[in-house]
């Protein structure tokens, strides 16, 4: 069954442009998983990963130093973790799971370390740093591996 619609000559160009725009919008929404991952990575994901890696690495580096050095490093990591938690979820289920676990490990460890430093409690600081090292960093490494694999699959 065909329908005929009479469109005044003055508006025909507008109808064609509108129909084309709607078609492009509807068709443009379907990105591949690799494209979605690329978009997440390029729109802040890469920068957050680099900053978290730097801050967690710094906590690791100062692990054998004094509380006055450890506390600020843990506070910086805690602040960066809060920023990273505000990012949109990674559009890759496995990578998102590792990311969430990494951020949780960083948040718990850095908070315990910072709290211990404020109280001048060396054991608590050490326990927090160990959490960053054993819970956060390995999961961040797994996250990066999953992201790299997803990006490579799209190439």
pLDDT attached to residue 153: 86
Select from 102, 101, 104, 114 the least CA-distant residue to 62.
114
Contact 150, 95 (CB under 8 A): yes
pLDDT digits (tens, 9 = 90+) for 20-76: 444 344 445 578 988 999 999 999 999 999 999 999 999 999 999 999 999 999 999
Give the Cα separation of 13 and 72 in Å (integer): 63
- Span 74-122, pLDDT tens digits: 999 999 999 999 999 999 999 999 999 999 999 999 999 999 999 999 9
């Amino acid at each position: 069954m065909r329908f005929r619609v009479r469109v005044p000559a003055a508006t025909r160009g507008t109808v064609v442009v509108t129909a084309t725009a709607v078609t492009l919008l509807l068709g443009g929404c379907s990105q591949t998983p690799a494209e979605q991952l690329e978009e997440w990575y390029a729109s802040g994901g890469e920068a957050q990963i680099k900053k978290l890696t730097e801050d967690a690495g710094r906590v690791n580096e100062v692990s054998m130093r004094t509380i006055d050095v450890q506390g600020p490093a843990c506070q910086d990591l805690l602040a960066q973790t809060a920023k990273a938690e505000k990012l949109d979820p990674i559009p890759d289920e496995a990578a998102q799971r590792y990311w969430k676990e990494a951020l949780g490990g960083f948040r718990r460890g850095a908070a315990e370390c910072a709290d211990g430093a404020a109280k001048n409690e060396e054991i608590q600081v050490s326990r927090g740093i160990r959490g960053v090292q054993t819970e956060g960093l390995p999961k961040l490494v797994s996250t990066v591996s999953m992201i790299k694999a997803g990006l490579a699959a799209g190439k």
